Chains A and B, each alone.
Chain A
Amino acid sequence: MAFEPVLTNHVREPNAFTLDFYQSHARGYEGLRKALAFQPNDIIEQVKASGLRGRGGAGFPTGLKWQFVLKDTPKPKYIACNADESEPGTFKDHVLMERNPHLRIEGCAIGCYAIGARVAYIYIRGEFLHVQETLERAVAEAYRAGHLGKNIYGSGFDCDVFIHRGAGAYEAGEETALIESLEGKRAQPRLKPPFPAVEGLYQCPTAVNNVETLCNVPLIVLNGPQWFAGLGPEKNGGPKLFCVSGHVKRPGVYETSMHTTLRDLVFGDAYSQGMRDGRAFKAIIPGGSSVPILLEKDLDTPASFDHVQKAGSLLGSAGLIVMDDSVCMVWLAMNLLHFYRHESCGKCTPCREGGDWLYKLLMRVERGEGQMKDIDLLFGVANNIVGKTLCAFGDAAATPVLTTLDHFRHEFEAHVREGRCTLSADWRARQTAAAGAH
């Protein structure tokens, strides 16, 4: 049974981003209209019943997150929409924001109504200036048409949506760091608890939701929680965007249910159509760079939060990075540790210092200058980061090392034994290849 996309069904049409199109083709803002007829609590109950799980990475039930937002307080409440899409391998929100911006604005408004907020901030990463233009135009359109602003549809509900531009920090994707950045500080995570639902933005109750999560909310309100839950496996309902990149023939964003297996996503004709240049499949990172690697034997796993977890990895942000047999796993860990070392916010010592040492050790092994004891040292340093930091970044930084050591320890040993990288592909930098060869 082919899956009928509901989030991205119109993205290929040229005018999909306009309000006119959204209202004439996608039942635009009907969800908001319908939602305002319910009590806020009913909306939260509906989202809970739908089983919608956060699409940003953790897969936490959105309804619960909203329920935890403190109700009895004189303080204002806020929605912060996390559009700081920077997890390597993830580019789904990019499509949603650029081609279907009104869906997310509607989602923000419904979210505000449900938790009793009046203001939603969309935190968009600084590199997405072209996306920001589209969004700003969409927000202005929505204001003009009365979908945002004061007394929406005469219901007495006021809602403002503002766009806040980040300035280049991966860490700002972590919810408390995002709040810090919204407050005009360095994007560094806070100690939890208190959770943002109790003390978030400006010390007020805040719900931080991913773009894709909020995009699903209008659909749940319109079509009902049962419809949504029925779209996928138990507890993994709804449509899901998968971003496939790397060594596949047709990389891109594919919307399907979480029944779809990883093998389908990589090899299916409707999806990525298999490996490029007739090379063999080697490994896949199923959920953005922060999750463990899966191998050929795991490919028949359905791409749902629970199934992928059972297979030993995480669905995370659903950024599938596919690698063929030309990829050296030591290089892979080195590449990712360069990322984590650069993006670590520096607040917690294990992550800040550990990431740096991991990178240096990996560079040494990759160049063929390492010793066998370096491999154990890598393991030791990585394990001393896991669980010892304020946010999940530390675990994420250690993961590439632990997972490559777990599955490909023999490649590390081969580097040490032969004194060079044994897999120097033509897409790699010549300098590193040369350094590895001496």
Chain B
Amino acid sequence: MSFHPRIEYATFHRSERTFAELGEPFTYTPEHQAQFNEVVTHYPPEQRKSAILYALFLVQKQQGYITGASMRFVAEQIRCTPADVEDVVSYYTMFYTKPVGKYVLNVCRTLSCALLGAERVTEELSAKLGIAPGQTTPDGMFTLIEVECLGACDRAPVVMVNDDGWHERLAPEQAATFVDDLRARGYQALTGCHLHVEKK
């Protein structure tokens, strides 16, 4: 008996990856170019490729996601082939090859968070936003993604917003208000990482 007919694949964003569109021609802003040039000096001169993750983060910071043209640009900067760049882009989960919302809600789904209701958080967010995990709302405000352990298990359930926002102890019942709050007040709606916040 074959397994296939009765088992559906779970949906998660990584399996939905397709080839990136070519997009508009890309160059760094002078500020980003200067940052890149600085970081390259951290590595031996013949090891420019070490800066590739940093280079891609800069692209993403500048235009939100990574296009084919920007991969070619990064390849020129790094002095490798575009295929080398795509190899890296397609491996790491924090790089997006299609547009994402203004707020990317990365809900931790691994054990410690799940024990305290992360599955319910995803369900509530999904119901509130009207999208499934991996999708973006039509108004381009929110993308919902389930991610694996974020390393803050004592403050479960944890949600990372984009890559620089952090929200801890989001109870499922608060999920709907959390979305409204985020829409209204932006990052001020977030608790931040308690370790980072308390020291200020």
Contact = CB atoms under 8 A, between A and B. Distances in A.
A430 B123 contact: yes
A129 interface: yes
Contact of A89 (B50, B87, B112, B166): B112
B119 A127 contact: no
Given A167-B56, A169-B92, A130 B196 contact: yes
A244 interface: yes
Interface string B34-60: 000000001110011111111011000
Interface stretch (A39-47, A91-99, A302-310): A91-99
A85 B151 contact: yes
A181 B54 CA distance: 12
B100 interface: no
B109 to A, nearest CB: 7
A372 B159 CA distance: 38
B196 A134 contact: yes
A332 B111 contact: yes
Contacts of A16: 199
A134 B155 CA distance: 20
Contacts of A93: 151
A142 B88 CA distance: 33
A429 B112 contact: no
B192 interface: yes
Interface stretch (B4-12, B21-29, B134-142, B174-182): B4-12
B150 interface: yes
Contacts of B116: 246-247, 427
Nearest to B89: A167
Contacts of A327: 115
A14 B12 CA distance: 39
B47 A91 contact: no
Q: How large is the interface on A (under 10, 10 to 19, 20 to 34, 35 or more residues)?
A: 35 or more
Interface residues of B, number: 61
B154 interface: yes
Contacts of A263: none
B124 to A, nearest CB: 10
B14 interface: yes
Interface string A426-438: 0111111000000
Contacts of A164: 42, 50, 53-54
A202 B153 contact: no
Given A94-B195, A252-B154, A321 B112 contact: yes
B19 interface: no
Nearest to B14: A342
Main secondary structure of the interface of A (DSSP, over half): mixed
A88 B7 contact: no
B81 interface: no
Contact of B49 (A91, A162, A185): A185
Nearest to A356: B9
A319 interface: yes
Interface stretch (A29-37, A51-59, A147-155, A333-341): A333-341
A127 B6 CA distance: 36
B120 interface: yes
Contacts of B3: 360
B198 interface: yes
Contacts of B50: 164, 182-184
Interface of A: 14-17, 76, 85-91, 93-95, 98-99, 121, 125-131, 133-134, 160, 162, 164-170, 181-187, 202, 243-247, 251-253, 285, 289, 319, 321, 323, 327, 332, 335-336, 338-339, 342-343, 345, 359-360, 363-364, 369, 427-432
Interface of B: 3, 6-7, 10, 12, 14, 42-44, 47-54, 56-57, 78, 87-88, 91-95, 106, 109-112, 114-117, 119-120, 122-123, 147-156, 160, 163-164, 166, 192-193, 195-196, 198-200
Name the 5 nearest CB pairs between A and B, nearest first: A184-B49, A429-B119, A167-B92, A245-B153, A168-B94
14 contacts: A88-B148, A98-B195, A125-B151, A131-B193, A133-B196, A169-B93, A183-B47, A185-B88, A245-B153, A246-B111, A253-B154, A289-B149, A319-B153, A360-B3
